[in-house]
Structure 1
């Protein structure tokens, strides 16, 4: 009997481990994910070259050191409007020595700072505050722009989070930053901001007349058509002499004649002055 119990004890222990194994696997924690099912990133860059890339709808949750410049990057295509939301969990109030001001900025691929259409880009936290919320909505991405306009174009955009005003003693304190990037629109929505043109820009046919909304646009009258017709320019037999290339030749000839007269007049005044001096023997 003792031998049977000695053999049964290890078998029972092995059976218990096999039964508990699936339960332990199911209870293991899964990687965190955002509301869109994309994984939450736990990294951040400290320059444009080391910026962490975020996809549309993706979040970043990372512990940082207060006072550092923090960079993320995200792509944006034509017709999209991107919004960046930032939430900073501040250090304990007992460790802080004054209010903190945080700033979020957006830059395009050429490192040009882009303007925000809405959202608080700067936020100042009082001594007792625990969090600071910032946001920035970029202008709609355009397919092309003038070189001087600085309009946002398709490509990579950078997020820079920094502390613009903070007590010197608070530099280096541990903070927690949560970043969310959301985009809306697409290629089918690529139109200038403020709406679309509902009708072509065609001037009225009869200026000064008022047309009702239901009535059709009246046809132009004969007098209006006559007034709109171009008036033929009156010409004479000498008109072609002073037009086109002929004008240039006339000015050349006139300039040459004036130059010759000026030369003759100058020679006369310098070499043959008025009056005659008496002979030298008259002075003796």
Structure 2
């Protein structure tokens, strides 16, 4: 009877512990596309157009331009950057490439995806290519990393889209570009013991603010944050599963004691027997 009560209480505690973990791991709905999505791109890191994850940004440019966007990525996220370039009806063979840099302007490697693609010449009897689709799936963003490592860290990320192989005749032809960033929440599987003091959000230097007590504030080149704010880095769902493991170990100890207590004890013989 006592073992049954212990099992029931432990099962209830496990249910309460697992519930928040399941709720946290469920994917959040992507922001709906609206008229507020950016319709232009920057031409350098400092002028990169900010976009939110889940938005589809568009831009009209000329072939040969460097196009820049920036987006925020937090610890535990695995961003996927996708870009589509719509080419003119008549063009020579072109090779387009998408690159992603972190807040320190370190180029981040793609785990997989077509980061570079070549479009066949258009306006030919074979038809050619009317668009180019590129993709880059980054590594999971860590809350902390060794100084010598090149791991992705929380902060601002930059997207650069450009053509890397172009015929002189195509230089300056109009093109339309679309860029979108989505993330998969990896959760506790990517948790590390440590966190950055501040996310890697580039600043333009200190500026003075007037008032009775004049103070200085850093002007940020990127102001967007993740929808839930920057994570502190110490909490993850692995704490829940660690707690569950501890409770299961305690349950095993209680059950083993209840099953084996009294075994091996000498039988008490009544006096005078």
Cα separation, 1, equivalents of 2:78 and 2:157: 12
Paired position in structure 2 for 1:36: 32
CA-based RMSD: 2.3
Q: Calculate the TM-score normalised by the size of structure 1.
A: 0.53
Give the CA deviation at 1:190.
Answer: 3.4
| Alpha-carbon distance between aligned partners in 1 of 2:116 and 2:175, rounded to the nearest angstrom | 17
Runs ≥4 in structure 1, deviation > 3 angstroms?
186-192
1:32-71 alignment to 2 at 5 Å?
A: 36-38=32-34, 39-71=36-68
Q: Which residue of 1 aligns with 2:96?
A: 102
In 2, Cα distance between the equivalents of 1:189 and 1:74?
23
Equivalent residue for 1:78?
75
Give the structure, 1 or 2, with the largest relative contact order (CA under 8 Å, sep 6 or more). Answer: 2
Segments of 5+ residues of structure 1 without an aligned counterpart are 1-33, 200-284
CA distance in 1 between counterparts of 2:56 and 2:68 reads 13
What is the CA–CA distance in structure 2 between the aligned matches of 1:147 and 1:114, rounded to whole Å?
A: 15
What is the alpha-carbon distance in structure 2 between the residues aligned to residue 117 and residue 51 of structure 1? Answer: 24
Q: How many residues align?
A: 160
Task: Report the Cα distance in structure 1 between the residues aligned to 2:146 and 2:68, rounded to whole angstroms.
Answer: 28
Residue deviations 1:226-261 (CA, integer Å, cap 9, x gap) = xxxxxxxxxxxxxxxxxxxxxxxxxxxxxxxxxxxx
Alignment of 1:162-241 (within 5 A): 162-185=162-185, 188=188, 190-191=190-191
TM-score scaled to structure 2, two decimals? 0.55
Q: Tell me the secondary structure at the aligned position of residue 74 of structure 1.
A: strand
Larger radius of gyration: 1
Q: Quote the residue 1:154 is aligned against.
A: 154
Tell whether 2:85 aligns with 1:91: no
| 1:80–1:189 CA contact under 8 A, matched in 2 | no
Higher strand share: 2
What runs of 5+ residues in structure 2 fail to find an aligned partner?
Answer: 1-29, 122-127, 193-237, 243-273
Match of 1:137 in 2: 137
